[in-house]
Amino acid sequence: MAEFDRGPTDAFAELFSRVPDPPDEQAFWFDWGPIFYRGRLDGSARLLVVASDPGATERIAGRTLVGDAGQRVQGFLGKLGLTRSYVCLNAWAYAVHPSSAEEMKDRLDDTAQLKWRNEVFGKAVGPALQAVVAMGFMAQEAVRLWDDRPQQAVLAKVPHPSSHDPVALVNGWRSAVTTLRAVIDADEDGDNTGPNYGEVFEESDYRPIPRRDLPFGVPAFLGDDAWVRAKGTGHPNSVSRPAPDDGHTLLWKAPD
């Protein structure tokens, strides 16, 4: 039987349905709607990954962190020996325009956003949680505002997977892997003894998104953009938002 994500429980679906509208719709790709999670929502996660906001590929998949950035995150999880015991969430459920990112960071403490987001964070994890990784400044602010973050969980702050500073990115992730390998128990089918990151990010540091993290029936290439990166065009995702109508148009390319 093929593995796939059957979606949130009724309780999580109800919670997700209560997501507040962003404080400034013009700062977000609002019309594309919210994206909420990827991974385990049943409290079994040993690691919670918090990133900033979903991208275009995430809209296609209906799951977060599945595009190029998500495939980098999957490689990070693999280096920790995690094949399933993780959950990925975001500071914002709606995609933020990059030009508005700093301004929206200062709106993460808006009352409705703060209450809803912290409820999601708290409900998504349980006693098994061993670490929280906050990826990028938006995620780090959201985690800072999470007042009842489980204190048994080690907090690691690292650059966002789409960071424009490749040196800081690979150095930060290498250091986090070293630290977290001593903290997080690997899954039975995982291996946390393999190579850490080198001096630059390599294709071998990516991993495809597992089928168990995606809805039933998505095409086999969704969650694996190695074929796009191999072209070296500078745009590493199979899904893009074309200007000037990026608020209402997505382009999705299949492999040749």
Q: What are phi and psi of 203, to 5 degrees?
A: -60, -30
Structure confidence at residue 2 (pLDDT) = 82
Pairing of strands 86-90, 131-135: unpaired
Asked if residue 47 belongs to a domain, the reply is yes
Question: Residue 235 in 3-state DSSP?
Answer: coil
Average pLDDT of 213-222? Answer: 96
Q: Domain span at residue 141?
A: 10-20+28-227
Task: Return the closest-CA partner of residue 50 out of 122, 106, 127.
Answer: 122
Residues belonging to the chain: 256
CB 237 within 8 A of CB 225: yes
Beta-carbon contacts of 213 under 8 Å, excluding residues fewer than 6 positions away, are: 5, 38, 39, 63, 66, 223
Asked if residue 65 belongs to a domain, the reply is yes
Residues 112, 115, 121, 123, CA torsion sign: negative
Asked if residue 3 belongs to a domain, the reply is no
Q: How far apart are CA 185 and CA 182, in angstroms?
A: 8
Q: How far apart are CA 117 and CA 20, in angstroms?
A: 9
- Helical packing angle, 10-17 and 111-124, nearest 10°: 160
pLDDT tens-digit map of 193-212: 999 999 999 999 999 999 99
pLDDT tens-digit map of 52-100: 999 999 999 999 999 999 999 999 999 999 999 999 999 999 999 999 9
Structure confidence at residue 88 (pLDDT) = 98
Q: How far apart are CA 207 and CA 250, in angstroms?
A: 24
Q: What are phi and psi of 87, to 5 degrees?
A: -140, 140
Q: What are phi and psi of 244, to 5 degrees?
A: -95, 0
Structural domain count, the chain: 1
CB 57 within 8 A of CB 238: yes
Report pTM: 0.97
CATH number at residue 54: 3.40.470.10
Question: Hey, which residues does 28 pair with through a beta bridge?
Answer: 96
Asked if residue 151 belongs to a domain, the reply is yes
Structure confidence at residue 1 (pLDDT) = 67
Question: Hey, which residues does 251 pair with through a beta bridge?
Answer: 240
